[in-house]
Chain A
Amino acid sequence: MTVVSMTVNGKSVSADVEARTLLVHYIREALGLTGTHVGCDTSQCGACVVHVNGRAVKSCAMLAGQAEGAEVVTVEGLARDGELHPVQKAFREHHGLQCGFCTPGMIMTAVDMIRRKPQLDEQTVRDELEGNICRCTGYHNIVKAILAASEEMR
Chain B
Amino acid sequence: MSDLSEQGVGKPVRRKEDFRFITGNGHYTDDISRPHQTHGYFLRSPHAHAKIRSIDTKAVLAAPGVLAIFTGKDIAADKLGGLICGWTVHSKDGSAMKVGPHPVLALDTVRYVGDHVALVVAETHEEAKSAAELIEVDYEELPAIVSLADCEKPGAPQVHPEAPHNICFEWELGNKAETEAAFARATKVVKIDLVNNRLIPNAMEPRAAIGEYDKGTGGYTLHTTSQNPHVARLVLSAFVGVAPEHKLRVIAPDVGGGFGSKIFIYAEETACVWAAAKVGRPIKWTAERSESFMSDAHGRDHLSHAELALDANGKILGLRVKTIANLGAYLSTFSAAVPTYLYGTLLSGQYDIPAIYVEVDGVYTHTAPVDAYRGAGRPEATFLIERIVETAARETGLDPAEFRRRNFIRAFPHQTPVIMNYDAGNYDASLDKAMEIADVKGFAVRKAEAARRGKLRGLGYSTYIEACGIAPSAAVGSLGAGVGLWESAEVRVNPTGNVEVLTGSHSHGQGHETTFAQLVSSRLGIPIDQIEIVHGDTDKVQFGMGTYGSRSGAVGMSAIVKALDKVEAKAKKIAAHLMEAAVEDVVFQEGRFTVQGTDKSLAWAEVTLAAYTAHGFPSSEIEPGLKETSFYDPSNFTFPAGCHICEVEIDPETGVLDIANFVAVDDFGTIINPMIVEGQVHGGIAQGVGQALLELGVYDNDSGQLVTGSFMDYCMPRADNVPSFRLGFTKTECPSNPLGMKGCGEAGAIASPPAIINAITDALGIRDIEMPATPARIWKAIQSSRPRAAAE
Contacts and interface: CB of A to CB of B under 8 A. Distances in A.
B719 A92 contact: no
B254 interface: yes
Interface in A18-54: 18, 20, 28, 33-42, 44-45, 47
Given A45-B204, A100-B17, A95 B676 contact: yes
Nearest to B288: A41
B711 A18 contact: no
Contact of A98 (B202, B286, B510): B510
Contacts, number: 176
Contacts of A64: none
Interface string A52-78: 000000000000000000000011101
Interface in A73-115: 74-76, 78-79, 84, 88, 91-93, 95, 97-104, 107
B339 to A, nearest CB: 23
B454 to A, nearest CB: 21
Contacts of A126: 719-720
A138 B690 CA distance: 10
A97 B28 contact: no
Contacts of B738: none
B289 interface: yes
B720 to A, nearest CB: 4
Interface string B706-719: 00001110001111
A142 B719 contact: yes
- Residue of B20, B204, B205 contacting most chain A CB atoms (<10 Å): B204
Contacts of A130: 718-720
A37 B23 CA distance: 13
Contacts of B256: 37, 99-102
B664 to A, nearest CB: 11
A60 B22 CA distance: 20
Nearest to B205: A101
B508 A99 contact: yes
Contact of B25 (A35, A45, A97): A35
B687 interface: yes
A152 interface: no
B70 interface: no
Nearest to A133: B716
A138 B718 contact: no
B533 to A, nearest CB: 16
Interface in B19-63: 19-28, 30-31
Nearest to B257: A99
A117 to B, nearest CB: 15
B290 A41 contact: yes
A42 B205 contact: no
Nearest to A131: B718
Contact of B28 (A37, A137, A138): A37
A145 to B, nearest CB: 10
A129 B711 CA distance: 15
Nearest to A128: B719
Contact of B18 (A28, A92, A122): A92
Contact of A99 (B20, B31, B288, B509): B509
Interface string B425-444: 00000000000000000000
A88 B687 CA distance: 25
Nearest to A29: B33
A136 interface: yes
Interface of A: 18, 20, 28, 33-42, 44-45, 47, 74-76, 78-79, 84, 88, 91-93, 95, 97-104, 107, 122-123, 125-127, 129-130, 132-144
9 contacts: A41-B288, A47-B204, A88-B22, A99-B254, A104-B21, A125-B719, A135-B204, A138-B725, A139-B718
